[in-house]
């Protein structure tokens, strides 16, 4: 049996965790909005058309922030089309996904939905086909109380108090040639600077996110971040990161190593942010908004069959298997291990579209990736301890990857320590040891495990709990020392509590 050790010191604190690390994403894409969070006439929908069975599961995920309305969709978005009387809203074609958008669910409906599921908005503006004027107008509509054209227009639409949206994305993936209004790094940096400046003049209390590279594999990666931040550094607080992974060649061990690629990506973006800070002799630090991340590849072929210009088709509906849930857990652990710089994270997306929650006309169920997200989101609060791991490795596309991914979180208010750990070994168990004698009076109070013999096992409406958490039984905590066995291909949440 392979052996692994987790090492921490209570005085070596990496950072407090920004709860927005556990955010998600709602885009007007496929059935995320329509037949997802919003479905008037459905037996589970309230009088506003919001599906309460879906809302209940979202509350279980405990999502503090939700990005909206895109995504690629936002680069052709006219926010004015989505407000006012529904019968007067125009149906428009969306070039991003080649569908028709009815605009029956819009900005004010989204804000109503955020209250239902206890989340905060992260609003994206269109810097593809639009620019500074539209950016100024939307924040006037959402954040000013009254006395101006757009704030009074909101009041005419029945929303007396301002929405007071504090977090704004300055466009989406503007480095991507697939994007409407795709720009060079210099072009985007300039419009992000000017749009951010105009928005801050309307509301100086907002935070803004500049578009980083769409993925680590973009040919302009690095140059893009450096050029964009050199232009708009003073007007932004975060730079975005996006990354998806897929097991396209069937090598599950290599697939589970993908979180090392995510780690490399984060470290490189941090380096660029700090280099620009040094060049500018700036005092402000730019942090990271990892506002699109997930596994995405299962639906690629079926999406090629979608008829163009339909409304909310079954699009990007990945059915997640057990190995996907292990990688999602590792990706979340990776972000937590960079909690000093990764302050916002958005699992893309929330419902139906590459999502932890799936719906049908007759029900709603949890995909495999629901569980690691919910476990970490709900129990991963407090601060991250510098977590050192000594474990065997395997050769991967990223060098030598460890079989063990882990992070330790301390919640001082609750007198709790929580260990999140993934055994990526597909053949052997891991014998785990860790010394917590600095934490006198603690005991083991919970051990929950996600494991399945079949890496390809999935949850469906008919069999929604094929992959689900179970109680772990092979971890012992005695005299301040934790020992135990982590089964092959498994995710663990181990909780210690002061008595």
Burial class of 81 by CB neighbour count within 10 A (0 to 12, 13 to 18, 19+): middle
CA 148, CA 150: separation in Å to the nearest integer?
6
Count of helices and strands (H, E) across the chain: 11, 26
Cross-sheet strand order for the sheet of 383-385: 13-16, 383-385, 404-411, 416-423, 490-498, 442-451, 470-471
Q: Name the token pair of 252.
A: 């599950």
| Candidates 292, 317, 323, 410; catalytic one | 292
Provide the pairing of β-strand 404-411 with 416-423: antiparallel
Q: Is the dihedral of CA 22, 26, 32, 35 positive or negative?
A: positive
User: Within 10 A of 397 (CB to CB), how many other CB atoms are there?
Assistant: 12
Asked if 323 and 255 touch (Cβ cutoff 8 Å), the reply is yes
65-68 and 23-25 beta bridge pairing: parallel
Distance CA 407, CA 332 (A): 10
d(CA 35, CA 50): 10
The Cα–Cα gap between 67 and 289 comes to 11
d(CA 307, CA 329): 35
Active site residue 292: yes
The Cβ of residue 412 has, within 10 Å, a number of other Cβ atoms equal to 9
Which of 27, 35, 109, 173 is flagged as catalytic?
173
DSSP labels for 347-382? ES-SBSSS-SEEE-SS-EEE-TTHHHHHHHHHH--S
Residue 173 catalytic? yes
Q: Between the CA atoms of 55, 58, 59 and 64, what dihedral angle is there, to the nearest 10 degrees?
A: -120
The whole-angstrom distance between residue 305's C-alpha and the CA centroid of its chain comes to 28
Which CA distances in Å does 87 have to 70, 90, 103, 441?
24, 8, 10, 63
DSSP secondary structure code for residue 90 in this structure: P
Nearest to 404 by CA among 433, 371, 377, 430: 430
Length of the chain: 499
- List residues with catalytic annotation: 173, 292
């Amino acid at each position: 049996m392979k052996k692994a050790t987790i090492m921490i010191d209570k005085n070596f604190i990496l950072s407090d965790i920004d709860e927005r690390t556990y955010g998600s994403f709602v885009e007007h894409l496929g059935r995320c909005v329509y037949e997802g969070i919003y479905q008037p006439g459905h037996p589970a929908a309230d009088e506003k058309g919001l599906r309460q069975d879906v809302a209940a599961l979202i509350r279980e995920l405990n999502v503090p922030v939700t990005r909206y309305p895109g995504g690629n969709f936002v680069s052709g978005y006219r926010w004015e089309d989505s407000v006012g009387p529904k019968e007067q809203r125009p149906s428009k074609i969306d070039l991003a996904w080649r569908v028709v958008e009815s605009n029956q669910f819009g900005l004010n409906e989204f804000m109503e939905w955020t209250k239902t599921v206890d989340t905060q908005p992260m609003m994206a503006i269109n810097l593809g086909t639009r620019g500074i004027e539209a950016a100024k107008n939307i924040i006037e509509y959402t954040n000013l109380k009254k006395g101006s054209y757009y704030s009074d227009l909101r009041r005419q639409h029945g929303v007396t108090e301002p929405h007071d949206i504090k977090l704004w994305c300055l466009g989406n993936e503007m480095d991507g040639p697939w994007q409407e209004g795709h720009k060079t790094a210099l072009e985007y940096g300039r419009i992000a600077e000017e749009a951010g400046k105009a928005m801050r003049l309307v509301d100086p209390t907002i935070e803004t996110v500049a578009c980083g590279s769409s993925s680590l594999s973009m040919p302009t990666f690095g140059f893009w971040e450096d050029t964009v931040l050199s232009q708009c550094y003073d007007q932004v607080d975060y730079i975005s990161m996006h990354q998806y992974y897929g097991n396209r060649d069937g090598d599950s061990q290599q697939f589970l190593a993908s979180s090392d690629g995510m780690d490399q990506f984060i470290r490189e973006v941090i380096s660029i942010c700090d280099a620009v800070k040094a060049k500018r002799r700036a005092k402000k630090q730019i942090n990271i908004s990892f506002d699109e991340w997930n596994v995405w590849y299962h639906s690629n072929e079926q999406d090629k069959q979608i008829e163009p210009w339909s409304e909310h088709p079954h699009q990007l509906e990945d059915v997640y298997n057990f190995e996907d849930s292990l990688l999602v857990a590792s990706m979340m652990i990776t972000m937590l291990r960079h909690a000093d710089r990764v302050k916002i994270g958005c699992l893309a997306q929330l419902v139906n579209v590459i999502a932890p929650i799936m719906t049908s006309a007759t029900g709603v169920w949890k995909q495999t990736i629901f569980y690691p997200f919910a476990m970490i989101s709900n129990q991963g609060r407090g601060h991250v301890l510098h977590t050192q791991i000594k474990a065997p490795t395997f050769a991967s596309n990223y060098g030598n990857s460890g079989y063990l991914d882990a992070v330790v979180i301390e919640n001082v208010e609750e007198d709790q320590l929580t260990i999140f750990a993934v055994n990526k070994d597909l053949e052997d168990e891991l014998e785990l040891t860790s010394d917590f004698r600095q934490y006198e009076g603690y005991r083991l109070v919970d051990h929950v495990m996600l494991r399945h013999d079949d890496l390809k096992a999935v949850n469906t409406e008919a069999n929604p709990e094929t992959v689900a958490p179970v109680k772990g039984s092979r971890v012992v905590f005695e005299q301040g020392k934790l020992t135990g066995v982590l089964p092959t291909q498994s995710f663990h949440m181990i909780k210690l509590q002061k008595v």
